[in-house]
Structure 1
């Protein structure tokens, strides 16, 4: 399909594992979360919540880091900000299960990602963590479900990573072509 031009913020988004120890400015964090707040959601429920741990401040960052799988702790230990994403299980207005909560949280994180890229920051989303540890460490109420952890900061030096992770970082991120993702009928590509 050739070279399709997309917005540079989307084109430049990257999920590195190497981070600088440089602190992320509070003003940038406010703008990132303001962008996430603006995401659409079913019935305007806004079921996303974020717990932010800043490394220099200590305990919350350590609680989130402690919930990560060992393979993620190896590199995420250098990220100056760790964010736990949560989804509210039920609608506030009627108590029914919110089956759109993950979709809505994902949209909020997408807005956060684009704004972070605009701020010169990078983030890496992780599903490799213990929900149970996060709930226990951060005393999360039953109504909220931990979904992912995000490492956030300025991109660091590749050489700060162990050799196996350096190799993974060097590999080009391959995306499936549109003709394998978008259909007019099942298995009939919308784009020829």
Structure 2
């Protein structure tokens, strides 16, 4: 039997090889936090974290994730116990309607790991050195997640707050 670990619990994958990861999470596992936006990989509302890396769940077939560890917004925090990222989004009003927020937060969590791992981005000046955490760098890294309400500056402010003590952040104390 094919299985994947979702939010710390093993689940059998669907037998239908055409079932997307998004539909399996939402419909079969009753994890509605992962949103179906465009269903074409263009908006990022369906972003989840698979084996530590962010991905659009609408573009991936569930059966391809045998043995993978999948993290959805439901594992990052809850209404009664918000994560640091979620608190920062609330503090900085990093959402308006909230539809894109689960994908934004999953993407932001993975972004923090990418920065810690020293991954360069399209706006990195030199791909051979660990990039500094700047507004431009954060905007580029979050560009795969659209917000139709336009809360981008608030999302960046939330990320800056969470990353303020990160040694790569401009102005962070060394």
TM-score (norm 2): 0.30
Which structure carries more relative contact order (alpha carbon 8 Å, separation 6+)? 1
TM-score (norm 1): 0.28
Specify the structure having the higher radius of gyration (Cα): 1
Higher-strand-fraction structure: 1
Higher-helix-fraction structure: 1
